[in-house]
């Protein structure tokens, strides 16, 4: 979320707002083609459009699936560093205030869940607690903790258990069952039915999906890496930081190619479905993070070029109002696609949904640009800031 508790004298790091705006924009586009987790693919569309829908779906998920969320997580840890560092410079302990801030984030996430069960704010609010004790550790200890989490230790334990017990058959996925149950209330045209369903069945479906897909390890790892990036001043342009991002871009790409290839050939290498699933979760997690680092490196380095910086800088207002934009896209998107609103889920494939998503982005970006001409923060950022410092 936005580093809205920055000391007013401290200059904002613009490229971080660009990255945050890029992440929110790409998350919005993915949510739109998914119909905000209401998966439906209209059959009445012409064949050429169904082909185009498939191309758009696969392209957007290749570019942004699991990566935009990872950027968001990385910047969450970085923002904590900025807030904590500013308070330490004033001789204050930010940890208790941050815990209260996370509780407020939990509340914002609950409001967002009313409209969209796939909300990540509530999950971040809980997992963000890891930053409170770790922020006093030295760099080496933080890096080791982040690396261990990124390795997906629980999934490796499951993988080796399956190898050693070929007779064992795991139970069915909890999230799959809950997502199936969501179909019942999503057929309703009542907003109240959606509200109750989203904060109960849908909320647990999202939590269990995150658990089953390694997000409970990946997200805290990225929080910690974001904290380290803050300590190392890697988002501040310098010869040292530019060298880091150039190397990061190269190594990330070299890691991504074999990981992505292996992920797509797992079905031909491993016959047993349960074993293959465990490895797929691990490799997907690493592959997504590698591609995320590749994208972040490119954006950070391109931002050093004046002409390209002028273009990327247009995302700054969108990034500064990330909380407002994230929740407002859920409100607007659910109304557009769900049956209590316009019910466009019946008529829109990925092509039409992408066009809707682009339109929503342009409208939100225009609003952000207009709003920030007369305000220092977005509406929800202002409320979060004020409530944090009550």
- pLDDT tens per residue, range 51-88: 999 999 999 999 999 999 999 999 999 999 999 999 99
The 10 Å CB-count burial string (b at 16+, else e) for 69-101 is bbbbbbbbbbbbbbbbbbbeeeeeebeebbeeb
DSSP 121: H
Q: Please report, rounded to a whole number, the percentage of residues in the chain having pLDDT higher than 90.
A: 93
- Neighbour tally for 178: CB within 10 Å: 20
Per-residue pLDDT band for 9 (boundaries 50, 70, 90) equals: very low
- pLDDT tens per residue, range 90-106: 999 999 999 999 999 99
Give residue 11's pLDDT.
62
d(CA 84, CA 87): 5
Give residue 60's pLDDT.
97
How far is C-alpha 19 from the geometric centre of its chain's CA atoms? 12
Give residue 10's pLDDT.
52
Token pair, residue 248, equals 């990061």
Class of residue 230 by CB neighbours under 10 A (exposed 0-12, middle 13-18, buried 19+): buried
CB 36, CB 333: distance < 8 Å: yes
CB 126, CB 189: distance < 8 Å: no
Per-residue pLDDT band for 171 (boundaries 50, 70, 90) equals: confident
Give residue 12's pLDDT.
79
- pLDDT tens per residue, range 115-155: 999 999 999 999 999 999 999 999 999 999 999 999 999 99
Token pair, residue 266, equals 């797992």
| SS3 at position 349 | coil
- pLDDT tens per residue, range 240-282: 999 999 999 999 999 999 999 999 999 899 999 999 999 999 9
> Of 218, 224, 207, which Cα lies nearest the Cα of 281?
218
How far is C-alpha 162 from the geometric centre of its chain's CA atoms? 30
Q: If DSSP states are collapsed to H, E and C, what string results for 149-175?
A: HHCCHHHHHHHHHHHHCCCCCCCCCHH
Query: How far from 389 is each of 6, 280, 328, 386, CA to CA, in Å?
Result: 12, 43, 24, 5
d(CA 273, CA 260): 19
Q: 3-17, 171-185, 368-382 — which is least confidently predicted? A: 3-17
């Amino acid at each position: 979320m936005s580093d809205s508790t920055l000391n007013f004298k401290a200059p904002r790091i613009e490229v971080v707002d660009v990255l945050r705006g890029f992440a929110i924009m790409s998350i919005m586009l993915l949510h739109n083609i998914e119909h905000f987790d209401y998966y439906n693919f209209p059959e009445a569309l012409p064949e050429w459009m169904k082909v185009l829908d498939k191309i758009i779906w696969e392209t957007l998920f290749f570019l942004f699936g699991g990566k935009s969320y990872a950027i968001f997580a990385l910047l969450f840890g970085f923002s904590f560093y900025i807030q904590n560092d500013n308070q330490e410079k004033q001789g204050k302990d930010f940890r208790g205030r941050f815990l209260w801030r996370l509780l407020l984030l939990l509340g914002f996430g609950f409001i967002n869940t009313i409209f969209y069960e796939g909300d990540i704010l509530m999950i971040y609010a809980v997992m963000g607690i890891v930053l409170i004790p770790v922020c006093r550790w030295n760099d080496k200890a933080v890096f080791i903790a982040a690396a261990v989490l990124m390795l997906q230790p629980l999934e490796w334990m499951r993988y080796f258990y399956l190898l050693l017990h070929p007779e064992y058959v795991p139970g069915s996925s909890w999230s799959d069952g809950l997502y199936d149950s969501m179909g019942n209330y999503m057929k309703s045209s009542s907003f109240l039915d959606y509200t109750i369903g989203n904060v109960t069945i849908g909320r647990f479906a999202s939590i269990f999906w995150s658990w089953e897909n390694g997000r409970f390890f990946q997200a805290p790892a990225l929080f910690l890496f974001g904290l380290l990036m803050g300590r190392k001043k890697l988002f501040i342009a310098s010869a040292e930081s530019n060298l880091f991002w150039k190397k990061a871009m190269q190594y990330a790409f070299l890691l991504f190619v074999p990981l992505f290839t292996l992920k797509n050939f797992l079905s031909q290498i491993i016959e047993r479905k349960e074993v293959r699933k465990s490895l797929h979760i691990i490799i997907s997690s690493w592959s997504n993070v590698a591609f995320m680092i590749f994208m972040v490196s490119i954006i950070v380095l391109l931002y050093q070029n004046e002409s390209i910086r002028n273009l990327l800088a247009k995302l700054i207002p969108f990034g500064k109002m990330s909380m407002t934009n994230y929740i407002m896209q859920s409100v607007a998107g659910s109304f557009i696609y769900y049956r209590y609103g316009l019910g466009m889920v019946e008529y829109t494939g990925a092509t039409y949904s992408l066009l809707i998503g682009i339109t929503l982005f342009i409208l939100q970006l225009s609003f952000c640009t207009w709003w920030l001409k007369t305000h220092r923060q977005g509406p929800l950022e202002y409320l979060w800031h004020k409530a944090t410092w009550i």
